[in-house]
Structures are given as structure tokens and as C-alpha cells.
A and B are shown apart, each in its own frame.
Chain A
Amino acid sequence: MTARPVLTLSAITKSFPGVKALSEVSLSLYPGQVTALVGENGAGKSTLVKVLTGIYQPDGGEILIDGTPVTFATATAASGHGITAIHQETVLFDELSVAENIFIGHAPLTRRGLIDWKKLNSKAHDLLARVGADIDATAPLKELGIANKHLVAIARALSVDAQVVVMDEPTAALSHKEIQELYALVDRLKAEGKAILFISHKFDEIFRLADRFTVFRDGQMVGEGKIADTNSDALVQLMVGREVSQIFPDRTPVVGEPVLTVSGYDHPTEFADIGFTLNKGEILGFYGLVGAGRSEVMQALFGVTKPSKGAMRVDGQIAVIRTPAQAIQHGIVYVPEDRGKQGAVAGLPIFQNVTLPSLSRTSRKGFIKLAEEFALAREYTSRLDLRAASLDQDVANLSGGNQQKVVIAKWLATQPKVIILDEPTKGIDIGSKAAVHSFMAELAAQGLSIIMVSSEIPEIIGMSDRVIVMREGRLVDELAHKDLTAEALVRAAAGIGEVAS
């Protein structure tokens, strides 16, 4: 049954400042078949979905539908060509009815150009029945639970007469029973001859649903074929196996006494039973899939989110941390993942960003000493090799990598004992990445303890002395440096060892 592909991507390239998100990737989707797209976080899967649905315009390459080249200038153009997508996080409208949500933007109209409510509701009813959802089409969306909202999102995607259905981690928010229903829906869509692109981190569902697979790594297509000809080991190999393209600093860790001990940290929704020890001069990696609860744990340690219970010791002393200000006093600082929102204060110049948490040191009795401020800012920004026109320049005008250097400089200027780096090199260029890595090594050698949250396997392996793996809000594995392999990390993070083999 080698039918002709409905949709073919050939040599699609998409770059963002400093990052090549997709590099000449190719992909074919066949009618009545499910193609699984797998790859690590940041491999380019979501970028590909956005190219397919007209949200991003590719820099190069071709999209062919039934052999004819097309371009999607807008999301509407993509759906006009019969491509629809169920996104990871769907935006729905709480105050509108289920039916309105399904047909938003393309509601059936009467001859006078008004909305044909009867037709709208009956078509919505049919669609909901088709996805197996027992939902009243006229109910307001806000009355629905998360899982039902997801089914509405799926119904919305199917309200467009599509040949190609893209599903970006559709089961992430669903319970076991709803997942089974979704599988049944996928089977029905297959039977209707739709071509389905199915993105998932869960190997069990990939093997349950998919006919074909495509593996992405670092924005490149590294393998494809029939699911029947492969197994989970081979897929993991493809996902992580790479030639060494990044060089990490060579270091001999000198690990000392425990600095930070966390025990029994619980949060009602985000994480449970978190306990670990961080030693002096150590780089402790935290690995897991996106949404595993790593950032939430770190923000709890820093006093931003409040755990419902748990205890923390810093240098053997009990530390109660309920605000970031208290965390800073105890020598714990946090470089957030969301640099724009939580890290840099755009609108303030570089030097004021750097000294913000250290103002008590650059002032006397609350009065700012400008010369000392500049001196402190200069000392730390030059250690990080910041590139900027002047220290008085607004941080908003710096590149991502240089903004990250400002944020790290800001925290080092507080002279912390523990620095938590959340995805420290996400979205920054290779040069800045290397600068951040070598600086981390230097800091650890000086006795600073570092926690590094990262979803990039090479970074985790290249930098960490020890790695804790989290899954669904819990610590599931701890690996010493000598046991660190990409395969072991991926297995622990996805829970493969427990399901398959």
C-alpha cells in the first residue's frame, strides 16, 4: 500500500536569530496512515508544526500537496489547503459556547450574513459525536473540565474539512480513559483516509498508533521508516545519538560538604516528595521532559511558589524561605528560564539590572552610590564577557545571549552559595553557550554549588557531576557522572523501562 503522499515537505529550513530551528528537513504524510514525529525537546518538532499550519514561514524548501507546491501565508491559508492541527496548548474562549468555540472564525452563515445558529449547533453536535464526546454543544465552555475542553479543541480542528491532521502531544492533558477514546478517534480518522502527523514523547502510544515514524534531532531529520521495522531502543538511539558537536569544559570536580539539603517538599499540584542534597562545588543536573515539574521545584526553593510542606537546610542550618528576598539572604539565587519575563528588567539599563538584588551593597543608608554601582556592574559583566555598547544601555536592546549574561552577572554579584540555573542556554547562540558553560565550570571550581535544570541532553551530560531525573512531579532516578548516558536519561524521563521491554 505505497500510496502517493498527500503532503510532502522537502528541504524545509527555518532560522531564528542565533538558532537554526529546522535544517533542510523532509517529511511525507500518507493518506490513512499515522506518522509519528519523535525527538527531544528543542529538536524542532513544534517549529515544524508551525510551518505546516502557516504560523511560521519557512526560509527555504518546499511544501507539496498532492504534488503541487503551495505556500501558506497565514493560518487560514493552511486550513484552506486541508491542513488542521491540534496544538499542545489550545486557546479556547471560556465565555463562548462549545459550538461557538468549534466554529470560531468560520461559523455557518444565513443568506443575510448573520450566524446561522441552528446549523451551527447541529453541526457542532455532529462533530462532538464524531470525536466521541458527550458534551452539550450549547453549554458555555467554562463549565467543561480540562479533558472535555481538549475534546472541543479536537472537534474544532476537525470542523475544517481536512486531509491532514497534525496532533501535537494530544494526550498530555488527558486521563487514561480519555486517551483510549482518543486512540479510537485516531483509528476512525485513519479509516476515513486522513493523513495524520502524531507528535508524542510517549513510546507506548507511538507503537500503538503509528504506521510510520520520523525522528528529528537538532533541527534535522535523522531517520524515518515503518514502525514495524523498529523498536524503542532504536528510536532512542536515533533521538540522542549524535556526533560530538559541542565541546564542554574539562573539569575535575572537587566536591565538598553538603550545602543545601531539601527534604519532603510537596506541592498540592506541581510536585511531591522532593528530597535531595547539593554539595559544595558540585554541578547537579535536573533532567526531565517539559512539564515534569523541575522549574516549579526550583521556584519553590527560591521562595516564589510556596510548597505545602517540606524542610530545607543551608549549611546544616534550617532555612525558612518564603520570598525571593529571603532566598537571596540565605545565598540561594535563581536564574529563571523565562528571561524576558522573570530575569531581565527591560527598560532599565544594564548596570541597574546587575545591581538590583545587591543594592544594599552599593548604597549607604539606602542612598545609592553610583560609582560603586558601576564598579560592581563592570566587575561581573566583564567576567562574563558581556558585549554591549555601554553599561547605561537598556537591556532590552541586547541579544538573548547577552541578556542572559546580564541576568547571571546580576546573581553572581550577590555572592551566592547556591546558584540555580533554569535552562541556562535555551535559545542563545553557540558562542554565548560556550561562555556560559565555561563560566559555570569556573564557578564550581571556586566552590559555588550549582543546580542546572536542562532539557538538552548533551548539556546535562557535558556539565553535570550528578543528575536527578524528574517525571510527573517526582524524582524518579539519580545518575552519577559515570553512569550518564543519553539512553539512560531518556528512558528515565519517559518512563520507558517500566512500560516496554
Chain B
Amino acid sequence: MNLQDGVKARFIPDRLNSRLSGHLKSWETLLLAVAVVVFVINSLSSPYFLDAWNLSDASFNFTEKGLIALAMALVIISGEIDLSVAAIIALASTAMGYALQFGVGTAELVAIGLIVGVLCGTFNGVLVTVMGLPSIVATIGTMSLFRGLSFVVLGDKAFNGYPTSFAFFGQGYVYWVITFELVLFAGMAVLFGILLNKTNFGRAIYAIGNNPTAALFSGIRVARVKMILFMLTGLMSGLAAVCLTSRLGSTRPSIATGWELEIVTMVVLGGVSILGGSGTIVGVVIAALIVGMVTFGFGLLNVPGIVMSIFIGLLLISVIALPIVYRRVRKG
């Protein structure tokens, strides 16, 4: 590093590099290149890939997980993690299916899904901020708890018979091949991007992730910020539950099994440091695209599910290792 202090000049410029050159060297640019490569490989290996309707279908591989990944990114940047997200989907979906038996309408179903999501998130938040449990342990616990509850309610049965109007969230199209879920994901990505980059709340998240003690000493309400983040993750899990339940048209307790790992993979692949403190929403969105396209490409090539799961495992390990190697190379 040549940024020695004791430099003679009194005037300190705001920035040394233009923001553009900063972007060009970033992890996000690298990801974008990977996304292009995956896209090209997919189009070459299957004649069915480059088809508007197929691509539209492919988007379901990442939209629901991506919604949660947006919130998960904030949680991980703040130095915490939430592994209960997939279980929250199961519980929220079960609650909606249960309410269905009493003949509630679409609006109520959506409200129930979101409220159960927020309640689960609040429970996680209380465990972490009030009781002081490490979030990785607390949310492994609630992961079993939430899914266990939906097994208790459902057993080996399933809830069916969602109203027709409810189907729009997971099966509806806004325009031509553009699905409602894709529009929802895009809109949420913009909102989360603004929240993280342009607000005091977002700045507090970065400060907490880099140094929680100094953040507290700077008057940031650390516990409150973390509480809100867990509630927000619960809310997004509830929203994903609404979309997924609507798309599948039924609820089983095994719904969304294993999603938490794919979501964490998206977030970490997106350049969010697993140790907290850094990362961007743009990176997470591109990573969600990559994971979605890869799984879709595998599907087109009839790769069995177990191979897919091996791939996700390898991807998770390599994306945690890669940024560390990448930073070392950039520093050296």
C-alpha cells in the first residue's frame, strides 16, 4: 500500500479514484462476466435454453430464493445469519393452508403468510438480541422448531384447494413472459439497494458488521437494528412463502427443504463477506441470476437432483474461499 500518512499536502480529496474505476475492479464485474459465461454455455449446450418462455420459467429458480437472499444479505453484512428462512416458509405456508380450511380469501391468506413470517423473524430476533444467543445456533434451533411445527399440523397430509385469485402471485404474468415474481424481485432488489446504500439504517448495518462495539459507542442502537433485520428476513420469508405456495398450489411440510443453503450461497457468491461488514445488493442479484441459470441449465440437461446438490455444496465452499483468495491477490 502506498497510502502512507504524513503526506505533506494539507488538503485531503474526497476520493482518489473515480467511482467508475472502482466499479470496474469490483467483485460485481467479475460476477457479471461469470453470468455471461454461464448464459453462453447454457445456450450452446441446450437448444431449448434460448427461448423466451423457457427463460421465463427459469426465473422461478431464483426469484423466491432471491427475495430472501436480499434480506439475508443485510443480516450477514451485520455479522449475523438466519438459517431458519426455509423453515419459516414451511410454517407460513402451513398457516395459510390451515386458514384455508376456514374459507378465508386471498387477501387474508397473504396477510397470514406475511404475519407468520414476521412473527418467526421476531422470535429469532428476540433470541439473538434479548437473550444474546449466537444467531447461527439460535436459527439452527428455530429451523427445526418451525419445520417441526408444520409437521405436527400437517403430518403426511397436504393442504390443497387455494383460491384461483391466489394463483396470481406464483403463476401470474405482468406482461408477455414477465412473471409477477420477477417484477416483485426486481422491485424489492431496488428497495433493498436503496435501504442499504442511501439510508442511515444501511450505514448502521455496515458499521455494526465491521465493529459492533465501536458502532454501539457511536450511539447506534445495535440491538434494535439487528432486531429489525431478523424481522425483515422473516417478512421476506413470508413473502416467498406466499409466492411458492401460490406457484405449487399446495402445502406440504417438506416445502422449500434445503433452501437456506442455496440462499446463503447466493449471498456469499454475491460478494457479501461471511464475516460481516461488506457486500452489495447488486452482487447478490447477479449471484441469484447465476445460481438460477445454472440450476435451470442442469435441469435442461437432465442432471439428477443429487448432482445438483453436490454442485451447490461445492459452490458454497468455493464462494467462501474465493473472495478470501481474491482479496489476498488484490492486496499482494
Contact = CB atoms under 8 A, between A and B. Distances in A.
Interface of A: 302, 304, 323-325, 327-328, 334, 336, 341-348, 351-352, 356-357, 359-360, 363, 366-368, 374, 378, 381-382, 385-393, 397-399, 402, 410
B131 interface: no
Contacts of A327: 219
A351 B206 CA distance: 14
B278 A347 contact: yes
Most B C-beta atoms less than 10 A away, residue of A324, A343, A391: A324
A368 B219 contact: no
Contact of A342 (B6, B16, B214): B214
B214 A341 contact: yes
Contacts of B12: 378, 381-382, 386-391
A389 B17 CA distance: 11
B203 A397 contact: no
A324 B219 contact: yes
A341 B210 CA distance: 10
Contacts of B201: 366
B1 A397 contact: yes
Contact of A345 (B15, B200, B214): B214
A385 B10 contact: yes
B271 interface: no
A387 B218 contact: no
B220 A325 contact: yes
Contacts of A345: 207, 210-211, 214-215, 218
B306 interface: no
The majority secondary structure among interface residues of chain B is: loop
Given A344-B214, A389-B3, 4 more contacts: A302-B217, A325-B219, A356-B219, A391-B12
Contacts of B16: 389-390, 392-393
Nearest to B210: A347
18 contacts: A345-B207, A345-B215, A347-B206, A347-B209, A347-B210, A347-B211, A347-B277, A357-B219, A357-B220, A366-B200, A367-B199, A368-B200, A368-B203, A374-B14, A387-B6, A388-B3, A390-B16, A391-B15
A352 B217 contact: no
A19 to B, nearest CB: 15
A325 B5 contact: no
Contact of A359 (B14, B200, B210): B200
A302 B199 CA distance: 26
A327 B1 CA distance: 38
Given A352-B203, A386-B12, A391-B15, A357 B218 contact: yes
B210 A390 contact: no
A327 B213 CA distance: 16
Contacts of A363: 199-200
Nearest to A327: B219
